[in-house]
Amino acid sequence: SDVDSVNKAFHAGATDFLTKPLNLQLLRYRIDYVLRGSRTAAALRQSEQGLANAERVAGLGYWQTCLTTGTTIRSDGIVRLFGQSIPNPITETLEFFKHIELDSHNELRHALRVARMQTAPINLSVNMQSGSSQQAKTVQLTLERTSSTDHGEHLMCTALDITRVTRVEARADFLAHHDMDTGLQNRSQSVLTASSIVSDYDVRVAVIAIGMDDLSLVNKTSRVNGRVSISQELTRQLSNWMREYLFDSGWAPYQDGSVDENTLMGSLGPGRFLLICPLTGRLGDFDRELRSLLKTTGEVRNGEDIDSYLNLQAGIALTPNDGADGAMLIERAEIALTHALNKQD
């Protein structure tokens, strides 16, 4: 029958029919319509490909949840951000949670509940779990409820990979508060640390400025065994001494992990170091330990042999005699260091 023929033709891929006798004017319009539809489909495919490329380059993705049925569709960008095991469509939004670190779960649950009840967008950042197929990421999510007469209400989530930006910001923040060569706290941060130690802990504190008299003879980029600079080698030796000193002192904040040796060390510029030492024992015992530090720390070895010896000197400021303000203590320790360096000349 004609109906069977029509069905068979459509199943075979036909999209239109012409009847006899041919109407040339109608044929022309139908051909124009088919060509226009083909161009539109090609433009749509090109636009979708461009959007997919933009998502990939920018680290973008999205998912959209129908608030009536609960069904969620997602873009391919979400697969790259959240992992390869996410189906499409998704019947449960919590499918995403297994790809997010536990410390972000509660915040995301709360944001999803609130976003369903308001029209204003909600922004939050979540940490992605690292696995065999992906590295750890930080993703910024924007949740927004949308509505239309044709498609009803949806919850749209746009995801943006901000891992690189976060790392750059963290690096910039680190460099703003630390010395680039040694990784130690810089002067401004050391002032805050010294003030905090003095005010927060019931202990007498020695602020020690350590420096070398022959820095001008040592290029700051000189290398020991071709690996580290002189300043980095001295930082390592001072860190080892601080670790042993704090352990032997029995100071409670160090024992319980509240403070470590790196927190109590700083850089005051090229060849200048700062140590913030809690005094839990007698001052005479500390003086002997400091003299031992200055005697051994200046040895810069190349293999088994001493490659050079840097004559280190120290200046000390003590609480409460020299004040309780971090800036004042560091300033007086540096003045004492300058006197020590000038005296030996």
Residue 182 C-alpha from the chain's centroid: 20
Q: Looking at residues 317-332, what average pLDDT do you find?
A: 93
Q: Is 193 exposed, middle or buried (0-12, 13-18, 19+ CB in 10 A)?
A: buried
Report which of residues 42 and 95 the model is more confident about: 42
Question: Which residue is listed with tokens 């999510």?
Answer: 141
What pLDDT digit, counting tens, does each position of 162-219 carry? 888 888 888 888 889 999 888 999 999 999 999 999 999 989 999 999 987 655 444 4
Tokens in use for 191?
A: 């002032």
Whole-model pTM over 0.75 = no
Confidence at residue 226, expressed as pLDDT on a 0 to 100 scale? 47
Cis peptide before 253 (omega within 30 of 0): no
Confidence at residue 293, expressed as pLDDT on a 0 to 100 scale? 84
Give the three-state DSSP class for 57: helix
Averaged pLDDT of the chain: 81
Give the three-state DSSP class for 209: strand
Largest Cα–Cα distance in the chain? Answer: 117
Strand partners, 140: 125, 160
Confidence at residue 48, expressed as pLDDT on a 0 to 100 scale? 77
Angle between helices 230-249 and 283-297 (to 10 degrees): 150
228 pLDDT higher than 60: no
Q: Looking at residues 76-87, what average pLDDT do you find?
A: 71
Confidence at residue 255, expressed as pLDDT on a 0 to 100 scale? 92
Confidence at residue 279, expressed as pLDDT on a 0 to 100 scale? 93
Confidence at residue 75, expressed as pLDDT on a 0 to 100 scale? 83
Distances (CA, A) of 143 to 101, 120, 286, 331: 18, 9, 58, 51
Quote the strand ranges of the chain, DSSP E: 60-66, 72-74, 122-128, 137-148, 152-161, 204-212, 223-224, 228-229, 265-269, 272-279, 299-302, 305-309, 312-318
Report which of residues 18 and 309 the model is more confident about: 18
What pLDDT digit, counting tens, does each position of 232-278 carry? 888 888 999 999 999 999 999 999 999 999 999 999 988 889 999 99
Separation between Cα atoms, residue 185 and residue 272, nearest integer Å: 12
